[in-house]
Amino acid sequence: MIAYVTVGADDIARAARFYSAFLPALGYIQEEFHGDLSYILPKQPGQSVALPDFYVKAPFDGRPAAAGNGTMVAFEARSQAQVRALHAAALAAGGSNEGQPGFRASYGANFYVGYLRDPHGNKIALFSNTPNEPGRDG
């Protein structure tokens, strides 16, 4: 089980603008700790923890933040419409488009995804894989 994911950022304020444009809509609550950002999912009744947490931090080694080649973090949305809305909100909040929301031939018929880069180059996916919505072939 993945407990948390961390991405690097040199400008925490820019990162907060970007991630706050869509993570709260996915149920995450933002906390600040020592100037870094923590996005956590609230614990549900009967649940010991709600994972994974998502952290945005300045690199510990003091060097500039850099996006990993081939590294991506994906967040699941409730619907295709939410993917579109959150992708647009993240772009308006300083992200860059890495792939318009839509179906991709390499994935299942209901896998609907939009790709972004945060202001520091980290790749983010917003996806929905809901079988009760129209699929790629429907």
**pLDDT, tens only, 72-119:** 999 999 999 999 999 999 999 999 999 999 999 889 899 999 999 999
pTM over 0.85: yes
27 inside domain: yes
Indicate if the pLDDT at residue 39 is higher than 70. Answer: yes
134 inside domain: no
Joined tokens for residue 110 = 């209901």
114 inside domain: yes
> pLDDT over 70 for what percent of the chain?
99
Please report which helix (H) or strand (E) contains residue 30, including its range: strand 29-33
User: What's the domain count of the chain?
Assistant: 1
133 inside domain: no
Q: How many Å apart are CA 2 and CA 10, to the nearest integer?
A: 25
- What are the DSSP calls for 55-68, one per residue? EEE--TTSSPP-PP
Q: Look-up: residue for tokens 């929301």? A: 101
Q: Please give the residue range of the domain that contains residue 110.
A: 4-60+67-128
| pLDDT confidence band for 138 (50 / 70 / 90) | low
Q: Residue 88's domain is classified under what CATH number?
A: 3.10.180.10
> Rounded to the nearest 5 degrees, what angle is found at the Cα of 97, between the Cα atoms of 16 and 125?
70
46 inside domain: yes
